[in-house]
Amino acid sequence: MNAYDTAQSLFYVAYGEEKRIGLESYDLPKSLVDPAKTEEEIENSLATSLEEANEEKMLNKDGQKYEKNESNILKSF
């Protein structure tokens, strides 16, 4: 017996849930969804949030590198 015999999609057989299509299948915070009027605006908000998170991650990495370099300099004195 395979996925076609049981009338289930291959995605369901592999992951145990149906494939999500579009943003309407995701549970998004109301603070994100309420002010937005279109799916495109929601996608833009999510993309902006992701970019901000990536920038913060890079700043943290740079800060750690600075602290490591500063520590190495102090050790050489």
Q: Express each pLDDT in 9-25 by its tens digit.
A: 888 888 888 777 766 66
- 52 in any annotated domain: yes
What pLDDT, in 10s, does the model give residues 30-48? 776 666 668 888 788 888 8
- 5 in any annotated domain: no
Q: What is the pTM of this model?
A: 0.35
Q: Indicate the number of domains in the chain.
A: 1
H-only helix segments in the chain: 10-15, 30-33, 39-76
- 12 in any annotated domain: no
- 1 in any annotated domain: no
- 16 in any annotated domain: no
- 50 in any annotated domain: yes
Between the alpha carbon of residue 62 and those of residues 47, 56, 59, the distances in Å are 23, 10, 5
For residue 62, the enclosing domain spans: 28-76
- 33 in any annotated domain: yes
User: How far is residue 5 CA from its own chain's centroid?
Assistant: 35
- 17 in any annotated domain: no
